[in-house]
Amino acid sequence: MTDDYTHYEKANKLLRLFQFDAVDQKAIGGPAPPEAEKWRRLLIDMIYYFGLAISEDRPEKGKQIDIYIDRLIETLRKLEQMPDHDRTIIVRAKELFFTGKRTALQSDYNLFFGRITLDLRSAETMARRTDAAATQLHTRLAIAFERLARYQIQTLAIEIPRQSPADLRRMRLSLRILSAFHHSLQSKVPVNYFDGFTDRTLAIIADMNDQPNPNLTMLAALNHLKPELLNGFVRNVDGWIRRPGTEAFGRNVTSIYSTLFGIRKIIENLRMPPFEINNVNWLMLDRLHNILSAEKAEVLRLVEEKSEAHPGEGTRLMESIYGGDYDRIEAHDLARRLLTVSRLIETMENDWALQETLREIRENIRKRLERVSDDVLGRMELSGNEISAALPAESEQKKAEPAAPPIRGPVCDTVSAMLRVLKARSITRRKVKSLMNGPMTFDASDYRNIADEFGIDPDGAEHLVRLLAGCFDEKGHFQRSFFQRQIDEFATFEKTVFDFLWHYLSEIMTPEERLGFLNALQHLIVRLQQPKKTALKLISAFFFNPGSIHFSDRNALMLTSLLTRTYNQELNIDTKITPEDVLMVSEGVNSDVTEALSRWIDSRQKTVFEKVRTVNRMLSSALDEDKSDTADKAASEMPLAFMLALQRELFICLGLAGGETAFAIIRTAVRNLGDPENPVHHLKKSGTVRLQLIMLLQTAVRALGRALEPEDIPLLKKIRKREAAFAAYQKTDERYLERVRLAMKWIDRIIKEIEKMSGRLR
């Protein structure tokens, strides 16, 4: 077990590098020390209440355990507010205790959450440099660790529940079941628990080694599976894993519970517990970063080998292969990454055993290079296989100094070929975008680039370009009337025309011309009659670069919202915003579109939440004058009015799409906007947009109202009681006060609708 543990610990250390997918490069250092201490205190409270909540459940302790569960969930909700985390808290016994060589007087564990780490020693240090309360926290942590040790918990992964009623119910029930499981082990009785409706009894489920398994027992209880059914499954899978021919699969399987996650149909049809115990393989790899493919595992192994020989090389390789910031990368950083990954590729190309892994690396590099901006590609020089990129000028004072030498070096054939294709496409793309500055000359190579990118023949590409060129006059202004006259011609390319037009035109032109293009595009959408396909393309475009914001993002959301309805009066009129009243539509909803959108959003939670965080961060930056030097340079370039409008369109689109993920996002927004003490109401420019912020709250509330969830009522009632606090911001502004009253009326109305619906269900 020690070897397995060491392997997984190394893999886990390397997997932390995947944070480049979700965290802005300059935020990687983590919170400032005082802020970090706040999160460590909450982590101590969390594990303390977790230990109490899973204590043996006896009748006389039931109510007390419910109190601990409530406190645990409240603490998790607070931890959710910490920036830059993947919602998973890892608790792992230190190695001596893990391997049974427990020599210390106290049980000790490591806690990992985002960039925060915690153990008894760090808690003791925190206590020495702060106050008496911190000393109590150290004691609490020691008690919590002793409780985990008592229940022989070596590893624990807790996924912070989203604020959806379903997630919260699953967390409460899982804690109750685990508490009953421990009582069952102690008392030699069946697992007796209350599922929120009735008392239930379940036999403990054993694993393939005939040992009581808490994960399988929780799984059976959450899904009302008969013990004999799950025990039969355990025996069958155990026999299957041991059969000849399954060694490749079984090599990475350390438990039956892990095996479940390799079977897609099972994952899709079972409710999984929100935390896992003593499941090293799944704990360290799959649950944290989706299912880890064999190829990705091999990449990790190769990176580990590189890291041992060349300190720092592992980090650079992981940035190059799995970095999530390619849409914001500078040319010199891109050159460094391509040089780094080229060295790895060249060492693999002649090793036939590594070809699957090589495909994994190549595909990741290709996908990420496609996100690089045209400006950056234009600053990358490519001569043969030699690349170079100049370092940026650091300051005005240094302009007179000799320029630093560019980043230069040879790349492998794979990277060179990718870069050559992308640079050629970039040149063509810039030509198309230059149509707004006047006529442009295109040649056969341009048509081939477009044909390859959109899967059409060169003649078709030429025809599309000529149609598009006709939409601009000699001064480069968009001619909407010409576009609309040519809709039938455009529609002959029904499979690619929308992608083509959105790809080239969504970001160019003045705001007025973008609006004209948006409204003209609506007529093409009607002509194509492909609402679901088009809506999915638009939502994919919005989330494509989750770490950045573009002016086209708002238009993508507006068009997506428009396509969720079977009848849209906006299709025939020019519109600058989506009418908020669409959130009251029920009969005219295109369920094929909304269900497809909901599935798309639920299946891409990591990307969706990163994009939402980007929108929130950039709105905060636009509201706060002191953050003009933010690490995200694009934030200072986006006007406050645009960011407010984008946030509004996001609420409407998510509300119309629906689904667990969408409503979880809206619910968080309602909680934040509905709190007068929330920082969003106290930034430098917040006072100048009080009216817009209260209108944003109203939009979010109406979007949340589409969920019709009874468990949203307490939150809405809490906000309702804050009317006076909101009104106090601008007591003499009657227009603002009227907006506050209107928002509160909508809260009242939605509460009544939820209560009415709940009454029907009863």
Highest mean pLDDT among 217-226, 396-405, 695-704: 695-704
Query: E strand or H helix at 276, and its extent?
Result: strand 275-277
- Both tokens of residue 5? 């543990």
* pLDDT reported for residue 662: 92
Tell me which of 284-298, 626-640, 657-671 is least confident.
284-298
Long-range contacts formed by 637-640: CB under 8 A, 24+ apart: 638/549, 640/685, 640/689
Instruction: Say if residues 257 and 215 touch (Cβ distance below 8 Å).
Output: yes
- Both tokens of residue 748? 């009242």
Rounded CA-CA distance 448/445 in Å is: 5
Residue 523 has pLDDT above 80, yes or no: no
Write the single-letter amino acid at 630.
T
Secondary structure class of 457 (helix, strand, coil): coil
Secondary structure, 3-state, 681-734: HCCCCHHHHHHHHHHHHHHHHHHHHCCCCHHHHHHHHHHHCCHHHHHHHHCCCH
Report pLDDT digits (tens) over 67-105: 899 999 999 999 998 887 878 888 887 643 433 444 444
Rounded CA-CA distance 370/354 in Å is: 25
Selection from 328, 362, 420, 335 nearest residue 614 by Cα: 328
- pLDDT-derived band at 245 (thresholds 50, 70, 90) equals very low
Residue 57 has pLDDT above 90, yes or no: no
Give me the residue label for tokens 């155990």. Answer: 238
Report pLDDT digits (tens) over 658-704: 998 899 999 999 999 999 988 899 889 999 999 999 999 999 999 99
Rounded to two decimals, what is the model's pTM? 0.59
Report pLDDT digits (tens) over 180-209: 898 888 888 888 887 777 788 888 887 766
Q: Which residue stretches of 80-131 are H helix?
A: 95-98, 120-129
Instruction: Say if residues 204 and 234 touch (Cβ distance below 8 Å).
Output: no
Instruction: Say if residues 553 and 646 touch (Cβ distance below 8 Å).
Output: yes
Higher local confidence (pLDDT), 641 or 250:
641
Instruction: Say if residues 370 and 311 touch (Cβ distance below 8 Å).
Output: no
Report pLDDT digits (tens) over 436-469: 777 788 889 988 988 888 888 899 888 888 888 8
Average pLDDT over residues 546-573: 79
pLDDT mean across residues, the chain: 78
Instruction: Say if residues 192 and 180 touch (Cβ distance below 8 Å).
Output: yes
